[in-house]
Structure 1
Amino acid sequence: MIETPSNPELESLYNHLASLADETGWPTEALQRCADAGFYRWFVSKADGGFGWSATDIAKGYLELSKANLTVTFILTQRVAALRRIAGCENEPLKKRFLEPMLSGQRTATVGISHLTTSRQHLGKPVLAVSERDGGFQANGLSPWVTGGNGADWILMGGSLVDESGTADGREVLFLVETDDENVVVKPGFELIALSSSHTGAAEVKDVFVPEANIVAGPVKQVLTGNGGGAGGLQTSVLALGLAKAAIDFIESESQRRSDLAPAQTALRRQHEALCNDLFAATAGSTEVTAAEVRSQANSLALRSTQSALVAAKGAGFVTGHPVGRWCREALFFLVWSCPHAVSQANLDEFAPCS
């Protein structure tokens, strides 16, 4: 059990995950190893049964995890998103039922809430509608992006409250559904350019009754602004920086026998260290740089460092099975996942400057 950020067993965990990074299929072994190590307890206070790690220590842990195995780390972030919202909710009976099984890794939950923060929320008809019923709510619709739904016991979903005519009233609800409910359909994951083993796809609910006991938050307007954090932000940035670190370490290794690579490695390493310092400062509360600024720079560095690693690897890196090729594909993930408009625009301005 890894209770503190200084535990030497962390290095063993990172190395084990790295050894599994090229495997295809659902990463059962890697996820179980993380659960056995007490990973989920990092994020929750000691009062609630966790280890109470600081935001900065969590970010440093995520940095090394994503360097070792981005797919597994991505799955973990989605489970943690559900965990933290449950830990931070005001429904005490729900916390008592769900929190400890999730902290121990015996039961798992993932999230299906991204549609509440994207352009889908502006559609005339909500993609996932929730209507009031005696003792709870009835849910109908689709959660378009759910990671590892077929490997989870529950999905924390977000729905828009509608009246009898199906018109949304502006309020939203977060709620838990069981994946073994016959009216909850977890669809096969999409074949993605990268991270397909995360089994990210849609989940549909058809006339699913949600008792008040399973309500995590709401109904309120902008339910995601409550305790538990919103989509994207610094967490996604640190994953991009972890991937960049893997690529930069590869270039450094190659530069030991090819001195022409040393200047590029030095420049990328300097940028990486500076950006990590900015991110760690931001997690500690600094406002000198915004989350959007960190994210756009992290996206850029992930792309440039992985492509530089491909240059260093030459043709071998373009052969299926070489980690550099996988890293290049994985870097594209950050251009589309939980990427606010301001970040996308900053990346476009870099890729295609107008002046």
Structure 2
Amino acid sequence: MNTTPPASFDDAAFDELLGFLRAESGSLETPGAWPSEQMQHLARAGVTGWRVPKQWAGSDLSPPALLSGYEKLTQACLVTTFVLTQQDAACHRIRGSDAQAVKELLLPRIVSGEIFVTVGISHLTTSGQHLSRPAVEVRETDRGYVLNGTAPWVSGAVHADYIVNGGTLPDGRQVLAAVPTDTPGLEACTPANMLALNASKTGPLSLNDVEIDRELLIAGPIENVMKHGQGGTGSLTTSAVAIGAAGGSLSRLRIEAENRPELTEILDSLTREHQVLRDDLFQAASDECDDARFAMQAIRKRANSLVVRSAQFSLNGQQKGAFRGTRRAVRRDARRRPRLWAST
């Protein structure tokens, strides 16, 4: 299998990949769909190795290149790109660890497309942090660790070969491990029925006396395990995906505006905002950036706002007369935006 990354995102091979993803994106809206074929195409194009070091057969793209790739892929197929980012999040955790055995076991197989790996770590960062008991409790054994509890949000668990998951020991220390999905006691629950991205198969993961060997440990036991082994693009990934999705919506709105001049003002305003945000995203990915406007949280907040508004205007643009009053809304939002940025 050829897993060589494109020389640039403008070459014919990458354009062919984007064309395939774009053409097949509609098929992922059907019940029960999963981007299996799409992920294989990503592997053949070398995309699954973007976040993997070269010594493990990856291409180890720079943060700006990685974000640019996510943006372009998202414009072609949001669901496939989202699923890819979940696997890349697993790669990020594995590559940043000292777990050489896990790297040897998983990273080359991820790059080749032999296996799919996802993450179930939201309970260690945001989800369930307010609970009196950890969402996933851990006890140590002679062989390794036993996990009990529920990881609330895991994408693609029903199709994964390994899940990067973890939990909390009685003394407050935490562990992170690569858990094989055929481990007894591990169950991918029925995916949630969401407004979008249902093909990502996102839902809870149940762990009932799931025992993992010590050699599958990625990090820990240590306090705040998620704060260790980080680096690179971090949460800018979600912003790049949002910006890519907004770009796709604006492209559709641009087609509609060719026959409806009244959409031009709105389109131009959103397009300018999109371009500024793209520039700020790549500036934020550089090591030389210390301006508060480029902080990850500020970028994410702006990206989330833009992707929602772009999608709304794109959908409304397909309905005659739906833009009544929206020009005033865009102007009002533009006036508020500088104060919002300054406060983040």
When normalised by structure 1's length, the TM-score is 0.84
Matched with 1:273 is 275
Q: How does 1:69-84 map to 2 (within 5 A)?
A: 69-84=77-92
Matched with 1:185 is 187
Matches of 1:101 and 1:73, distance apart in 2? 19
Matched with 1:154 is 162
Matches of 1:28 and 1:314, distance apart in 2? 34
Matches of 1:247 and 1:232, distance apart in 2? 25
Matches of 1:198 and 1:312, distance apart in 2? 27
Matched with 2:286 is 284
1:10-46 C-alpha deviation (Å, 9 max, x unpaired): 1111121111212221121111111111112111222
User: Alignment partner for residue 22 of structure 2, among 6, 18, 21?
Assistant: 18
Give the drift of 1:295: 0.9
Would the alpha carbon gap of residues 283 and 62 (structure 1) be closer, same or farther in structure 2, given more than 3 Å must change?
same
Matched with 1:170 is 172
User: Alignment partner for residue 32 of structure 1, among 27, 40, 45?
Assistant: 40
Q: Is the 8 A contact 2:233 2:285 kept in 1?
A: no
Give the drift of 1:118: 1.6
Q: Is the 8 A contact 1:3 1:51 kept in 2?
A: no
Matched with 2:104 is 96
The runs of 5 or more residues in structure 2 that have no matched partner are: 323-335
1:85-126 C-alpha deviation (Å, 9 max, x unpaired): 112210112211121111211012100000111251342221
Q: Secondary structure at the match of 1:248?
A: helix
The runs of 5 or more residues in structure 1 that have no matched partner are: 163-168, 318-345, 351-355
Give the drift of 1:264: 1.4
Q: Secondary structure at the match of 1:170?
A: coil
1:248 to 2:253 alignment: no
Q: Out of 44-53 and 297-306, give the one that drifted further.
A: 44-53
Q: Out of 77-86 and 117-126, give the one that drifted further.
A: 117-126
Q: Is the 8 A contact 2:183 2:211 kept in 1?
A: no
Matches of 2:184 and 2:263, distance apart in 1? 56
Q: Secondary structure at the match of 2:132?
A: coil
Q: Is the 8 A contact 1:5 1:57 kept in 2?
A: no
Matches of 2:309 and 2:44, distance apart in 1? 35
Q: Secondary structure at the match of 2:268?
A: helix
User: Alignment partner for residue 227 of structure 1, among 229, 235, 244?
Assistant: 229
When normalised by structure 2's length, the TM-score is 0.86
Q: Out of 254-263 and 123-132, give the one that drifted further.
A: 254-263
Matched with 2:305 is 300
Would the alpha carbon gap of residues 114 and 139 (structure 1) be closer, same or farther in structure 2, given more than 3 Å must change?
same
Aligned length: 315
2:5 alignment partner AA: I
Matches of 2:142 and 2:321, distance apart in 1? 62
1:144 to 2:157 alignment: no
1:67 to 2:71 alignment: no
Matched with 2:7 is 4
Matched with 1:116 is 124
1:311 to 2:311 alignment: no
Q: Is the 8 A contact 2:144 2:214 kept in 1?
A: yes
Matched with 1:321 is none
Matches of 1:205 and 1:3, distance apart in 2? 40
1:156-182 C-alpha deviation (Å, 9 max, x unpaired): 1021112xxxxxx22110012111223
Matches of 1:151 and 1:287, distance apart in 2? 40
RMSD: 2.2
Give the drift of 1:256: 1.6
Matches of 2:105 and 2:241, distance apart in 1? 31
Give the drift of 1:240: 0.8
1:287 alignment partner AA: D
Q: Is the 8 A contact 1:114 1:231 kept in 2?
A: no
Q: Secondary structure at the match of 1:219?
A: strand
1:230-279 C-alpha deviation (Å, 9 max, x unpaired): 99721111111111101111111122222221121111111100000000
Matches of 2:144 and 2:6, distance apart in 1? 38
